[in-house]
Amino acid sequence: MADLHLALKGEYFDAIKAGTKTEEYRMVCPFWAMRIEGREFQRVILTRGYPKRTDWSRRLELPWRGYTIKTITHPHFGNVPIKVYAIRVAANADTDKKEM
């Protein structure tokens, strides 16, 4: 089974690692639909930017816990409501809901 690789900005990577951010967002568009919808993954591999292959301090490997489609407002997307894939990246299964 495949892994989903996501490169993140440092602030989001650090928040996920600390456990304060439980979802990572990707805009609903053909690019991400092709990569996420109708697929099953074994793990989500999160990286802080694009680290060297041997830099494990900037890499998190988490189990795939699914995603939901949400409408959010976020400065990264221009402060207008937008549909996103909310990919569950909580390290603790207790914070998760039903997997899609």
Q: Summarize pLDDT for 23-46 with one digit per residue, the tens.
A: 999 999 999 999 999 999 999 999
pLDDT given for residue 98 in this prediction: 43
Question: Residue ranges per domain, the chain?
Answer: 2-93
- Place 94 in a pLDDT band, splitting at 50, 70 and 90: low
- Place 99 in a pLDDT band, splitting at 50, 70 and 90: very low
Here the tokens at position 82 are 């937008």
Give kind and range of the element (H or E) at residue 17: helix 10-18
State the fold for domain 2-93.
2.30.130
Its pTM surpasses 0.75: yes
Average pLDDT for 72-85 = 90
pLDDT given for residue 7 in this prediction: 96
